[in-house]
């Protein structure tokens, strides 16, 4: 029995279909379909023909491709039992809930040991689709890989676009031709960065910045992540995003991906960019006064670096106000014994050498000029040459012989003492 579900906004339609209770597939994603579209016919038209030298039926490219269904590519879930034995689930539909632009599909495996749940939500204003997956086990298991719900890539795309870079060379565009096999990118640094941006654009042939069709993805996760863009031997293509592989140190019973943000655009690459920007500003980033325009900032870093002098800073603030700045930001160097970037990071007390009367005189001066006052700090990092590190070396993550960046180590923000 074929079952289908659809999510729509004014620009696009996403259709998922399932036969015989198996994991659903994305059978259509593109320009908005008519309300009366026959989804069962659409599902049947999506089925790939079988030719010589192939299996008798093509395994589904589902939202979580299963090795047990003879899927020939990267599976969506790789998990081992508590004793290390590979566990190969075969999921069947348990429940489907669709309401108000949100679809939740729940599956149980053949032994009822694993529950797989996929969630899709579409935003009618920003046109962003949010997709995420979670797995619950009836006993502790070791997770190797869990993909967010898998999307197919268009057959008429000749290339994919992702981004890399470094400091002063950010967001370098990489164009990679589609070919049989995998485009695999993994970030194991534990944080996002310019070198491993967790995003992908798949333009359809002929698309430009302002016209044509394009599909774009962004994995909403600030830690290590992994991307797989794969062309199967039969020509189908899949996009997978998830946390970096093998990041779970111990066996657990619950696992979840981050949110995969996806969008279809018929206005070229710019249409994808506009959708992501609107969604970020209207749905994710929250401002104290969302209807008020964001203030124009002036940051004093390049003007003074670590050489803080109250009179000089007051003069700079006056110049900034005359230029139209609405917020004056005091940057690095106001705290501890911070005369360069090798020391005092995490000693968050005002330096009495530079500010014998504290920051109040500067703050009052800034406010008298009609600006608000902002201050820089970096609560998640620490210098080994600091009072806090000498008192609590166990608060820092990593080994003593680790290679540091700018003489810094990361703090273990999971410790209650660090949080307080």
Hey, where are the domains in the chain?
61-284, 297-419
143-162 pLDDT tens trace: 999 999 999 999 999 999 99
Structure confidence at residue 352 (pLDDT) = 97
Confidence band of 43 (pLDDT split at 50, 70, 90): very high
DSSP 8-state class, residue 194: G
> What integer is the mean pLDDT of 120-130?
97
Fold of the domain spanning 61-284 = Beta-galactosidase; Chain A, domain 5 (2.70.98)
Length of the chain in terms of residues written? 420
What is the reported pLDDT for 191? 79
Mean pLDDT of 211-231: 96
**pLDDT of 98 above 90:** yes
Find the range with the poorest average confidence among 48-62, 225-239, 305-319, 352-366: 48-62
Instruction: Over range 339-362, report the average pLDDT.
Output: 97
Is-contact 238 65, C-beta < 8 A? Answer: yes
CB-CB contact of 387 with 335 (8 Å): no
d(CA 196, CA 201): 14
The pLDDT, as a whole number, for residue 287 is 82
Residue 79's pLDDT is 96
* Mean pLDDT taken over the chain: 94
pLDDT exceeds 80 at position 55: no
Kindly state the average pLDDT of the residues 127-139.
Answer: 97
pLDDT at 406: 87
Do 229 and 182 form a contact (C-beta atoms < 8 A)? yes
What confidence tier does 399 reach under pLDDT thresholds 50, 70, 90?
confident
What is the residue whose two structure tokens read 């589902």?
Answer: 62
Q: Is 236 exposed, middle or buried (0-12, 13-18, 19+ CB in 10 A)?
A: middle
- Residue 339, pLDDT above cutoff 80: yes
In the prediction, which pLDDT does 374 show? Answer: 98
- What pLDDT shows up at residue 10? 93
As a whole number, mean pLDDT of residues 161-176 equals: 92
* pLDDT tens figures, 237-269: 999 999 998 777 789 999 999 999 999 999 999
Confidence of residue 54 (pLDDT cuts 50, 70, 90): confident
Q: What is the DSSP string of 124-174?
A: TTT-PEEEEEEEEEEEEEEEEEEBSSPEEPPTT--EEEEEEEETTEEEEEE
Is pLDDT above 90 for 289? no
pTM of the full predicted structure?
0.90
* Percent of the chain topping pLDDT 90: 83
Cα separation, 162 vs 201, in Å, equals 6
| Residue 405 pLDDT exceeds 90 | no
Q: How many CB atoms lie within 10 A of CB 74?
A: 19
Mean of pLDDT values over 166-189: 92
pLDDT score at 13: 98
Quick check: 340 pLDDT over 90?
Answer: yes
Per-residue pLDDT, 184: 95
pLDDT of residue 272: 98
The whole-number average pLDDT for the span 111-126 is: 96
Question: Smallest Cα–Cα separation from 130: which of 161, 156, 155, 104?
Answer: 104
For residue 291, what pLDDT is reported?
A: 83
The predicted pLDDT at position 127 comes to 97
3-state secondary structure at position 178: coil
- Predicted pLDDT of residue 249: 78
Give the pLDDT band (50/70/90) at residue 36. very high
Q: Which CATH number fits domain 297-419: 3.20.20.70, 3.60.10.10, 1.10.1740.10, 3.30.300.30?
A: 3.20.20.70
- pLDDT score recorded for residue 246: 75
């Amino acid at each position: 029995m074929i079952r289908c579900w659809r999510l729509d906004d004014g620009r696009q339609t996403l259709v998922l279909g399932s036969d015989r209770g198996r994991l659903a597939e994305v059978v259509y994603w593109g320009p908005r379909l008519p309300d009366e579209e026959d989804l069962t016919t659409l599902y049947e038209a999506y089925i790939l023909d079988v030719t010589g030298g192939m299996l008798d039926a093509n395994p589904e490219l589902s939202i979580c491709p299963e090795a047990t269904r003879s899927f020939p590519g990267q599976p969506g879930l790789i998990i081992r039992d508590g004793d290390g034995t590979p566990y190969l689930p075969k999921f069947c539909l348990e429940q489907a809930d669709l309401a108000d632009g949100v679809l939740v599909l729940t599956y149980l495996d053949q032994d009822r040991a694993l529950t797989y749940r996929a969630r899709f939500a579409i935003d009618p204003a920003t046109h962003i689709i949010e997709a995420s997956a979670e797995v619950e086990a009836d006993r502790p298991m070791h997770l190797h890989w869990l993909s967010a719900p898998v999307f197919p890539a268009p057959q008429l795309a000749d290339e994919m676009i992702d981004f890399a870079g470094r400091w002063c060379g950010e967001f370098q565009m990489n164009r990679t031709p589609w070919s049989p096999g995998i485009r695999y990118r993994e970030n194991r640094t534990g944080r996002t960065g310019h070198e491993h941006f967790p995003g992908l654009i798949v333009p359809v042939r002929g698309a430009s910045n302002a016209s044509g069709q394009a599909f774009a993805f962004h994995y909403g996760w600030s830690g290590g992540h992994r991307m797989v863009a794969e062309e199967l031997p039969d020509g189908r293509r899949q996009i997978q995003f998830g946390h970096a592989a093998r990041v779970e140190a111990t066996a657990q019973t619950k696992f979840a991906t981050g949110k995969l943000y996806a969008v279809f655009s018929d206005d070229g690459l710019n249409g994808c960019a506009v959708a992501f920007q609107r969604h970020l500003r209207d749905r994710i980033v929250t401002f104290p006064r969302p209807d008020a325009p964001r203030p124009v900032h002036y940051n004093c870093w390049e003007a003074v670096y670590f050489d803080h002098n109250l009179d000089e800073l007051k003069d700079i603030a006056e110049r900034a106000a005359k230029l139209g700045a609405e917020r004056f930001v005091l940057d690095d160097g106001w705290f501890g014994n911070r005369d360069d970037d090798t020391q005092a990071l995490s000693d968050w007390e005002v330096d009495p050498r530079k500010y014998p009367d504290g920051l109040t005189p500067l703050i009052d001066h800034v406010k008298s000029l009609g600006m608000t006052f902002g201050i820089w700090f970096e609560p998640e990092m620490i210098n080994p040459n600091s009072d806090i590190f000498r008192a609590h070396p166990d608060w820092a993550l990593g080994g003593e012989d680790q290679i540091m960046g700018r003489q810094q180590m990361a703090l273990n923000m999971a410790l209650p003492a660090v949080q307080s």
